[in-house]
Amino acid sequence: MRVVVCGGGVIGACAAYFLRRRGIDVTVVERTEVAAAASGKAGGFLARDWCTGTPLDALARRSFALHAQLPEEISGDWGYRTMTAYSGFVASDGDARRDAPSALGWLSDGVVIAQRIGTAETTAIVHPRKFTSAVMNAALAQGAEHRPGRVTGITRGTDGATATGVEIDGDLIEADAVVIAMGPWSLLAAQWMSLPAVYGQRSPSIVYDTAADVPAEALFLECEEDGSAVSIEVFPRADGSTHVTALSDIAPLPLDPAAVAPDRDAIARLQTMSERLSPLFRPERIIAQQACFRPVTQDGLPLIGKVPRSDGLYVATGHNVWGILNAPATGEALAELIAEGATREIDVSPFDPARLTPLDPSLLQAR
């Protein structure tokens, strides 16, 4: 059996890895580079039970457990470590707490820690680019193939419903099954199959070199900007970098992932907010100013499973902020679906692509 995975992000990498563990031939097609988009620029935060009470709960718990296991199975260091998480807010002008020392010594005065929302048992982090690259390298070491190129179509058998391969810049790769895992660019595949719309939500971020000065303490804070409340998230990583993000917005998705760039105004605002949080977030410590597009769906749940009205076609995208967290369990589930026709570890029926109305392909003609 041969499977073509379209997309070299974290979902595609995990799908390739778990397929190869079953001995299935895999070719990964990626137009730019591994982890080129959100998989390389996300925060990398992991939470075991933050999806309790939602359809994502079982997926998140299984994937959180896999994240803890994978360092024992795959060579490389992607900075997996457990951490504590806190919520709080930045006291505004006139608030009596504005000049009060923060409960966390590395933060500025007036940063109020309200409660602990994650412990070493329930929250952790990875470096997303390093994690994605390590999983992909593990798949390649087990015999998977990496094919640079842009997916331009799906070929089908005489019945018109069964996928027989993928067109790559005019060439053909034959396959028994095809997985679409192109993040928000999975939208383009609606030209060739019945898929719901996938949208891209842009998230700017700044990465600081904080060395060992910041402990393993993730922050979810509210601060005031021009009279409005803004959420800001801070993720210290094991390699001494700290990822700070806020101000997500909706923007046109570039056709080429390599063309994604942050909005200058958003980065300037984010830098001002960051410098208010801690004296460690100084301009000379900036490693990267960047943005990525997170894939989201109409109902906020991912698409994981068989593509409607097609045989041999599968999709895995739309994970929103939980892409890095839920990638391992998604890859495992895809491998089970393709190899056995059903999943064993988790129920993916809540993520069935057939639950949503397919996108009209004519809407993509202009793209």
Q: Which of 107-121, 139-153, 169-183, 351-365 shows the lowest mean pLDDT across its residues? A: 351-365
Strand order in the sheet with 145-148: 145-148, 25-30, 2-6, 177-180, 313-317, 303-306
Q: How many CA atoms lie within 13 A of 115 on its CB side?
A: 2
pLDDT (mean) for 137-149: 96
In degrees and rounded to multiples of 5, residue 365 shows phi and psi of: -60, -35
Q: Residue 225's pLDDT band (boundaries 50, 70, 90)?
A: confident
197 closest CA partner among 10, 360, 320, 55: 360
Task: State the CB neighbour count (10 A cutoff) for residue 119.
Answer: 12
67, 328 in Cβ contact below 8 A?
yes
Determine the distance from the C-alpha atom of residue 146 to the mean position of all C-alpha atoms in its chain, rounded to a whole number. 20
* Alpha-helical runs (H) found in 148-287: 264-277
pLDDT at 366 over 50: no
By CB atoms closer than 10 A (0-12, 13-18, 19+), residue 3 is buried
pLDDT (mean) for 312-332: 97
Q: Residue 354's pLDDT band (boundaries 50, 70, 90)?
A: very high
Residues 253-284: tens digit of each pLDDT: 888 888 898 899 999 999 999 999 999 999 99
